[in-house]
Amino acid sequence: MRAFVIALVLSAAGAPALAQIERLPAMSRSERQVIETNRAIQQQQRDLRQDQQTQFEINQLRNQFQQQQSQPIRPGCAIGTIC
C-alpha cells in the first residue's frame, strides 16, 4: 500500500511537467495570416500552371489544325496512294 501511495505521489508530481511539454504555444493571429497567405499564393500558382498547360494544349491543337488546312488537297488521288 505504501508503494502505491509513493507511486501515486510521484506520478502526480510529474503530470504538470508532462502537460507543459506536450502543449504548444497558441499560434498568433499574424502567424495564421502568414500561413493563409502562403496557402493562397500556392493555390494561385497551381491555378496559373493549369491555365498555362491548358493554353499550351490549345495552341498545339490550333497548330495541328492550321497545318492540316494548309496542306493542299490533290484531286483525283485515292486515299493511300501516291500521286
Q: For residue range 11-63, what is the model confidence (pLDDT) as tens digits?
A: 666 555 555 667 777 889 999 999 999 999 999 999 999 999 999 999 999 99
Is the pTM higher than 0.85? The answer reads no
Cβ 64 vs Cβ 73: under 8 Å: no
Return the domain boundaries, the chain: 29-63
pLDDT at 79 over 70: no
Cβ 61 vs Cβ 68: under 8 Å: no
Residue 43, pLDDT score = 98
Residue located via cell numbers 483525283: 76
Reported as a single tens digit per residue, the pLDDT across 20-34 is 667 777 889 999 999
Cβ 83 vs Cβ 74: under 8 Å: yes
